[in-house]
Structure formats: structure tokens, C-alpha cells
A and B are shown apart, each in its own frame.
Chain A
């Protein structure tokens, strides 16, 4: 039931009284409507703009948000209104739908935002009224095409495991993906051009020599041209065979237009090779040479414009067909008329109707060579009619073809533009993303440093380090830390990760102490984390947690934080705010476990003791901050920033 018909439902029920006297069976009981509310006004507050409507208006469509009990979720008790945090402009259309039963699409709205609102309020877009439906569909199709184009470009992304065939095919189809492909692309283009030019020059008369008459270059330098031809054909053959090999579906490839062009381009040569100078077939052989000109079509792989043109012609097939048909009709008509008009005159060139075809075509296309002209008056009259109509007949289908071409061309331009913009867009997005990731890492460091600084009592740096983070940010960071804790891994950024991997492959591990081996062995992959390291870490006044062998997993996070604090240079304390590059290096296989020892530039006696006890290799950092809180050798002290 749609439209305001719901308002007329009581009438329909009442009208059923007409059936009662005629009824053959007793009627069923009517359903009880116990909730007999009086119709009341409902207040809808959409982002501050207030809309009011009757409850029954909304009840007309019970399978939408506003018509069902779903809106109770948005009820605000204090203000006694339904509050929706959505776009009020689009809401206008939606509310009008309830009122009038027709959903209109406001043309100035973005199609995707409109769709979102419709989905939110549970209205299917199919019920958009006829007045706006076409526009809606057009816009929707456009946006879908755009999305599709974007997705297609994502396919350009490198697939991890491609065998030779797939790599080759990708190189052939998308030459911009690799340098090799680009080289191949240009080489083939060059040879196509060379081949075409030689074909052309072959026929140019080369200049007469005293003992020979003027002959075309092709016959003068037969050998040279033959070598050139052979070279080109060999390249083309090799290219064709490579493509055939790399094609994912060979059968489909062989049927495609481009491959047919390739074959037609190289076949004449081979046929010429195979056939000897047999007089009978040499005529046919000469004809075959004509096909060499098809090599120029191979350029369509290199030129997008050519492809667009071809595609346009294909898509305008019906218009072209119509053009051809109407032209043929007109030609036949006018040729007949001209023939009979000129029949009377003597020595006329219009010897037959087919002979008149030539005149008609030349006249209709306004060429007017002048080799055939009508001489009789009737002939001249009909000739002029013929030329006038020719202009019309040709001019009619052409705009359709042109508009098709323009549309396809612009679509292509748009795709190219988008591809170019995409790079910058992606970089910007990546920067933003890494910004947030870095923020997290930064905050971790800051948090740790804050704690450290607290215990050392140096407040000056603290001021610098305290960053005002919003509540949302801090909650987000907390969430990320929970994730880290769960998986016992940590977030690092790209550079560090790569560096780690690089280092792990380069470095040997001479300083692995025995204690290390006694601890849990490397149980993780390159990206995992070494477990079981312990570190004597200076700890704040807070609790000292004794660490079990499994505990180190947790510790490691602390560990990493620590190491990020390390300044690898003998520099001042101010270097504590390290860049991300100097941070975590543990993530690689067999990566060295670095202790984060933050010790004050005081005699590191305490540290030594710790080291000795839990002997993983350390990376000394001087100066480092060491707490003065002592820790017994047995207890593991860690500074947990998490």
C-alpha cells in the first residue's frame, strides 16, 4: 500500500459493508484495535531543524525507520522529541515522501549522500517517483562507473605471486608497470613505424641512373629492403609468439582483434617466402603485399586515441549502418533518375545505372570531380537536387557518432586524470594514516618518558613532552595498546621494520650470551618478537613485578619502549625524544634484544650487576637515565609504559 492510500483505508473498510448482505458465509471477526490513540503531533528534530508531523503520517509506511518502532531508539525523553543527527536538507525529501507518497530526488544533492540517508531511514530508492527516477538512475550509474574505474586501478597493484606467464602478460598489457615492459613497448612501436615507412619508401622512384630507367627504390635496393622487412617481421613474430604464450586464455587471445591484426601483418611475408617465383601466383603475391599496410593498425596498441576511435565506431554501428543504408537508397534513386534523364543526350557518360553511381556518390558527398556532368536540363535539375540532398543525408547521423566519440573520449580522459590524481591522493592518505600511527608511537614514548621524568624529578623536559591529547585520542591509543598486549606484538612504523629486517640479516649475533640461549629460544618469525628476554630496567617507584618466563612477552613491550628511548649517540638528554627510526629493533628473527636501560650518567654499577644476571646483549646508551632505585638482582624491574 503506497501513497496516501493508507489514509483512505478506513473508507475501504467501511465500503466493505456493500458485501455483507450478499455474503454467503459469516464474516470473520475484526481485529481489535486496542491502542486507540488519538492522532498526535510528533516532533522530529533533525540536527536542530524541527519537523512536525502527525503520527499517522509516519505510520503509513511501517517498514521504514520512522514508521516502525525503530524510531523509539532515537527518542529523547527530556525534550519529548525524536532526535536524528542527520542532514536536514535531505530529510525534507524523506519526510515529504511520507506526506505525499512520492519520493523525490533533489538534484543538487550528491547521489551517495542521498543514498546513505535513504538507507538510514529504511527507504528503498526504487520508489522514487517517475519525475525524478531517471535523473537518479543516471547519477547512480555515473558514480558506479567511477567506483568501478577506481577499483580497476586497484587491480594494478602488484600481486605477490605471479608466475612468468602472468608477469609477462601484465607487462604486455600495462607497459607502465615495469621498465622492461616500457622498453619493449617502445621498441615494438619503433619497429612498426620503421616497417610502415619502408613500405612507403619502397614505392618512391629513386632517381634514374644512366643505365637504368627510373624505378622505385624497392626494386633498386631490393636486398636492403628485404633485410629491413625481414627484421621487422621477425620482431613482430617474436612479439606475437610471446603474447600468445603469456595470454591467460590463448583461444580468446587468438580471437581478439589485435591478434588478428598481428597475424595479418606478418602473414604476407611468410606466404611470400613459401611461394616461389611462380608466375601464376605472383599476381596474388603482389596483392598480398598490400596487407602489409595493416601493420599500421598495430599502432592502436600504442595509441589510446586510436582505440577510442575504434571503440566508438563499434558502438555507433547502428548509426553507421543507418547512414550507409540511407546513402545507398539515395544513390540508387538518383543514379536511376540521372541515367534516364541523360539517356537522351548524345555521347553521354551516363552509360548505365551503375555508371551513374559514381556520379551520384561524387555529387552527394559534394566532391564534384567533374569527370561526369549532366548535359540535359532535366539532368542538371536532378543533379542539383542530388547534391542538396546529399548534404542532408550525410549530416544527419554524424552528430550521433560525434557525440558518442566525445562521451567515450571524455570518459577516458576522466579515467586518466583520476589515475594521475590518485597517486597524490594516495600519498596524502598514506601520510595521514602514518600520522596517526606515528601519533600512537609518539604518545607511547611520551608516556614512558613522562613516567621516567617523573621519577627523576626533572620537570623541565616534562613540559615539552606533555602533549595535549584529546580524550578520543587517548582512548584510541589505549585500544591499540590493548591490542598490542593481546598479541604480544607491537606497532612499529615502516622504516624501523625495514631496518630491523635488514639488520637482522646483516648482523651476526656474537654477543648472545648463554643466558639468552637458556631463555626461550626464538620462537617467532621475522616479524615476531623474541620472547623470554629479560631486562633489568630501572623502574619507577611503582610496583616491581616479578616476571615469569612467560611474562617477558609483556616485558618486551616495555623493552621496546625503552629501546626507543635510547639515543645511540653520546648526546645529551635532550636526545631522548628520539625519532622513530631509532626505535625498536627487535622485530626481526634473531634480532638482538636490546635492553632499554635508561640510566643516568652515573656509575652504572648497578646496571652491570643486572646485566650480568640477565645477560642478553645490550646496547649501551650513554648517557642514559638510571633510576636510583635499586633493584635486587633477582627481581626484574621493568619500566612499563603500557
Chain B
């Protein structure tokens, strides 16, 4: 681990491996949430710059979520790009996620994985087309059901002639 930090101190301080400076050798006590969780919402420009550096972003492209009670502290608000929308032929470090090592992860990234939704691209069929197709087909099925339900069609038949006391259905007289 220390080999990584030594080799990376040559890099500009822009996050990524820089975060490993805090971790020591294999004998460390592990990675605790209290060390890696996002900090308070940054207010002053210095706090914002420090937070941007921590997440590996430039200060001018760092933007935290608004602090309205449903925010994430100083976690950056990254532009959401679904995994499916990313170049499938690029040389990713983790091709199953289409993500490079050290790339900051979007706050809702598990929703935008390869097996989940992708609403960051232009949809193949517009929402209007989708709605029209669905409701059109369902309306056709409902119309067919309600029409045929009240107009049952079958061969012309008479009521079944069950034997009962006092009822004569057939008298066997010869045809004249």
C-alpha cells in the first residue's frame, strides 16, 4: 500500500489514489465509514476546494447537492451517465460497469447500471409512441371483450329436450 502512495505523490493532488494516503499497510484496522463518509455541506470556498480535491474533481466542476435536508453532505452532484450510454468499446478498467478505477461514482449509480434503467439517452421510441401503443392495444382488447361478452355468437340451437312428466317432445307420427 505504501508503494502506491509513494508513487502517486508525484501525481497532481486530484483524488483517485490520493485518498489512499490515509490508509496504511496491511496491518491497518480496515476502512471505517467514519473515515470515508462525506463531510458537512461545504459553505466557504476553501471548504469547497478541499471537497473537490477530495473527490478528484476540479473546483470549477464540483457541485454538491443542495443542503435541504435530503442532501448528501459534500458528495458531488455528478452528471448522470448511465452505464449503457457509455462507450462499449473503450478500454475501461471495470468493463462490467463501464467505469474506470478511481472515477467518482454517481450518488444513484446503482440505478443506472447495465442491468437497470437508462434514461440518459434519447429513447428509441418516444414516450408518446409508447403510451399510444400500450393504450391502443389495451383498448382494442377491452373493446373486443365487452362487445363479445354481450353478443355471444354460436350455432342456432333449441333448448335441450329433457324428459319430464307431462312433457312430450316427439310423437313418432309418420311423415305425410
A and B co-occur in one complex: no
Chain A interface residues (CB < 8 Å from chain B): none
